[in-house]
């Protein structure tokens, strides 16, 4: 087992023991989608109840909440663990992006696992960024964050329900495939040749549901998420019926 994966799973074990010892919810700092998938696989059948919370529906980075599988013990309220901060500045000079905000937060001494989704947007006059944080560090950001790079900013706490969540942008692709294999969907979704798609898989550059998948013939199901290094991310949104030539109709959403 990869040493990093082994360490990650041992930390989950620590949280399991903490929840059993305290008879309460234990939580694990913000996870990437890949870490979330690995945690779910590991905890299935563990005898513990768990769920993921990121402050809003479909959050990319989420906390892992674990508690004993006992209906008498509810999960702790998300508001007890998370806070949201809105960062604002005038829309002049440089347009600030995800990397700018993340770099400044890390520069304050925050660990990456204390920072959830970073959601930048603008209204034309002002630029904003809503950031989800562990509650334990939210106040530090409010008092310490004054600049993003060379841009002066203002930080204020907002309720989680006031988050400005940008709509996900994607392009729909309709195609047909001989079979719903990983290499076929990669080929259709990223507009590359089938042989190139196979090679990407074999070189371990393709992830299926946030897990590296080196088998080009792996089956893909509706809702599965595929990413290919250097090409982007897509979702197999729909598997339709067969054409007269017995090919399978598929609908892909390629995220912009």
- The pTM of the whole model exceeds 0.85: no
Provide the token pair at 159: 């309720």
Instruction: Give the H or E element holding residue 107.
Output: helix 98-107
Transcribe 108-154 into DSSP letters. Answer: TT--GGGEEEEEEEE-SSEEEEEEEEEHHHHHHHHHH--EETTEE-E
Domains of the chain: 3-75 (3.30.1370.160), 81-162 (3.30.70.330), 170-255 (3.10.290.10)
Beta bridge partners, 69, equal: none
In order along its 256 residues, the chain shows pLDDT tens digits of 678 888 988 999 999 899 989 888 999 999 999 899 889 989 988 888 999 999 999 899 999 999 988 877 888 888 899 999 999 998 777 889 999 999 999 999 999 999 999 999 998 889 999 999 999 999 999 999 999 988 999 999 999 999 999 888 899 999 999 999 999 999 999 999 999 999 999 999 999 998 899 999 999 999 999 999 999 999 999 999 999 999 999 999 999 8
Q: Which residues touch 226 (CB under 8 Å, ≥6 apart)?
A: 182, 185, 186, 189, 206, 207, 208, 220, 233, 234, 235, 236
Neighbours of 82 (CB within 10 A): 22
């Amino acid at each position: 087992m990869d040493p990093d994966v082994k360490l990650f799973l041992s930390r989950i074990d620590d949280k399991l023991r903490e929840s059993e010892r305290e008879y309460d919810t234990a939580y694990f700092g913000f996870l990437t989608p890949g870490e979330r998938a690995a945690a779910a696989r590991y905890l299935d059948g563990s005898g513990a109840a768990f769920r993921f919370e990121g402050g809003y529906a479909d959050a990319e980075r989420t906390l892992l909440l674990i508690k004993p599988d006992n209906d008498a013990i509810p999960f702790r309220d998300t508001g007890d663990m998370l806070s949201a901060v809105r960062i604002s500045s005038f829309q002049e000079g440089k347009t600030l992006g995800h990397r700018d905000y993340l770099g400044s937060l890390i520069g304050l001494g925050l660990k990456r696992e204390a920072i959830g989704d970073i959601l930048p947007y603008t209204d034309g006059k002002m630029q904003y960024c809503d950031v989800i944080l562990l509650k334990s560090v939210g106040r530090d950001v409010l008092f310490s964050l004054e600049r993003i790079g060379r841009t002066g900013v203002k930080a204020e706490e907002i309720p989680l329900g006031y988050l400005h969540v940008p709509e996900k942008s994607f392009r729909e692709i309709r195609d047909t495939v001989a079979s719903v294999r990983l290499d076929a969907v990669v080929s259709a979704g990223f507009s590359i040749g089938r042989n190139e798609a196979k090679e990407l898989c074999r070189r371990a550059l393709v992830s299926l549901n946030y897990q590296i998948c080196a088998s080009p013939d792996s089956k893909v199901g509706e809702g599965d998420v595929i990413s290919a290094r250097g090409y982007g991310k897509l979702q197999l949104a729909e598997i339709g019926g067969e054409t007269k030539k017995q090919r399978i109709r598929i609908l892909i959403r390629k995220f912009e």
